[in-house]
Amino acid sequence: MLPVDLFDPRHYANVRKPALQGAETLPAWCYTSQAFYDREVERIFKKVWNFVDRVDRIPNPGDYFVFDYVGVSTIIVRGKDGKVRGFANTCRHRGSVVMEGEGTCKQMQCPYHAWTYDLDGALIGAPFMEETADFDPARYHLAPVRLEVYGGFIFLCFDADAPDLKAYLGDFIDNTRGYNPDDLVVVRRQEWIMECNWKLFYENFAEQYHIPFIHKTSLNRQKRKITPPEPCNGNYVALYTQHPGSRMLLAGDTGFPAIEGLKGRDAEGTYYPSLHPSTMMGWCIDGMWWVRSDPLGPERTRITAGSCFPRKTRARDDFAEVAQRYYKRLDLTIPEDIKASEDQQRGLRSPYYKPGPLSYLERLVNTIDNWVLDRVLDPPAEAQKQAAE
Ligand code: FES
Ligand SMILES: [Fe+2]
């Protein structure tokens, strides 16, 4: 049952407890209710830095793609100056979307009445407007959307007042610099739609508890040493596993050489950061992949995945053939996690569902849930009073 005081902190007292000292999972409505979902969209997805894609998706001036995300359509376009920019995909005339899909353009032209925008968003053409008094094209620039890039990864933020990307990501930047992320290129993208809440897949990625069961015949053949979550100073959580070889491959498969210059811990295992709100990454010795859980509604989610390798690896003659072994792993394991998340969603709908306890292998589920609650719930009255003073 959905309580009327849905956002009263008392409903979440057990989620707020320390991970192994009585902490429980979130109430069912956090995964099923429209009201909780709407709060997440307004207070999380429209407030923070959201990972979008890689800059190498649009390598040349005029290359663009449209990114539809939490009800906001954004054009990501590379300008004549080589800079990647984001613009709200809504015409300054009567609001039509201006661009669709992806491709290359010289200018951006609205399909409705052919208002035309330069690649920097300036209105450069508006037919039949000469009789409109005081019509000044300079006032009708496409609305810019905040966009920043780290290591070739594009991020958007719909909040003008949010701190910059560097502040948001914190030491995630230092922890991935050794992989030379600017040199990576995306070699394959995939998409799935799943019938469950976005958090279920996101929580799943941050816990190792399910691996022997959900990935019984795929990942469980890989030896793993269980280590506690990594310390993180930024809006993310992370796990690290030390092991020989690449975790972009299934056990027994061989692949590409390691990323040049990779040193120390980076060269001895895999780093799994989960960037809030919902981007999961695997940084391996020979490449990296991301999976993002995009909310489409309380019980509907789009999963997008990308596989990345260094430019030199992609240029190899045997690339297409060897890459198949890498794709095999993602193609096997992501559907396993999707099924687990959808099964969990079906169970959560039961009137008999009650929040449950967590194992030491699921500490980050509690960290994620608290990160969400910190943003979705109102701050305590005392904190509000202090902030107002
Ligand atoms: S709505 Fe775009 S030109 Fe009219
Ligand atoms: Fe999994």
Least Cα distance to 346 among 206, 200, 208, 192 occurs for 200
Instruction: Give the nearest ligand 1 atom to 126 CA.
Output: 3
Angle, alpha carbons 63-64-70 (nearest 5°):
165
* Ligand 2 centroid – CA 378 distance (Å): 32
Query: Which CATH number applies to 50-161?
Result: 2.102.10.10
Q: Measured from the CB, is residue 111 less than 6 Å from ligand 1?
A: no
Q: For strand 50-54 and strand 153-157, is the pairing parallel, antiparallel, or unpaired?
A: antiparallel
Question: What are the residue ranges in the chain where pLDDT is below 50?
Answer: none
Query: Which ligand gives the minimal distance to the CA of 89?
Result: 1
- CB 169 within 8 Å of CB 49: yes
- Residue of 73, 90, 93 with the most ligand 1 atoms within 8 Å of its CB, for mutation: 93
94 lines ligand 1 (CB under 6 A): yes
The whole-number pLDDT of residue 383 equals 63
Cis peptide before 351 (omega within 30 of 0): no
Q: What's the confidence (pLDDT) of residue 308? A: 98
Helices (H), 33-117: 34-40
Could you tell me the end-to-end alpha-carbon distance of the chain, in angstroms, rounded to an integer? Answer: 38
Q: What is the spatial distance between Cα 185 and Cα 173, in angstroms, rounded to a whole number?
A: 18
CA distance 110 to 75: 12
User: Residue 167: which residues within 8 A CB-CB, separation 6 or more?
Assistant: none
- Which of 75, 99, 112, 124 has most ligand 1 atoms within 8 Å of its beta carbon, as the pocket-test mutant? 112
Q: What is the assigned CATH class of domain 9-45+181-376?
A: alpha beta
pLDDT at 299: 98
- Collapsing DSSP to helix, strand or coil, 326 comes out as helix
DSSP letter at 230? P
Provide, rounded to the nearest whole percent, the portion of the chain with pLDDT above 90.
Answer: 91
- The best mutation among 87, 91, 98 to test binding of ligand 1, ranked by most ligand atoms within 8 Å of the C-beta, falls on 91
Closest C-alpha to ligand 1, atom 4: 113
Q: Which residue's CA lies nearest to atom 1 of ligand 1?
A: 94
Q: Is 91 touching ligand 1 by the criterion CB < 6 Å?
A: yes
**188 CB near ligand 1 (under 6 Å):** no
Q: How far is the CA of 338 from the centre of ligand 2 (A)?
A: 9
3-state secondary structure of 88: strand
Which residue minimizes the CA distance to atom 3 of ligand 1? 113
pLDDT per residue over 365-374, tens digit each?
A: 999 999 999 9
Tell me: the pLDDT tens digits for 152-194? 999 999 999 999 999 999 999 999 999 999 999 999 999 999 9
3-state SS assignment for residue 357: strand
Q: How many helices (H) and strands (E) does the chain have?
A: 10, 16
Task: Give the ligand at the shortest distance from the Cα of 94.
Answer: 1
Give the per-residue pLDDT at 33.
97
State pLDDT tens for residues 60-108. Answer: 999 999 999 999 999 999 999 999 999 999 999 999 999 999 999 999 9
Output the CA 91–ligand 1 centroid distance in Å: 6
Dist CA 179 CA 260 (whole Å) = 8
Q: What CA–CA distances, in Å, run from 147 to 52, 157, 165?
A: 10, 6, 9
Ligand closest to the CA atom of residue 111: 1
pLDDT at 382: 64
Whole-number Å distance, alpha carbon 141 to ligand 1 midpoint, is 13
Q: What are the structural domain ranges in the chain?
A: 9-45+181-376, 50-161
The pLDDT of residue 321 is: 96
- Answer whether 219 contacts ligand 1 (Cβ < 6 A): no
Instruction: Please give the pLDDT value at position 219.
Output: 79
Three-state DSSP class for residue 241? strand
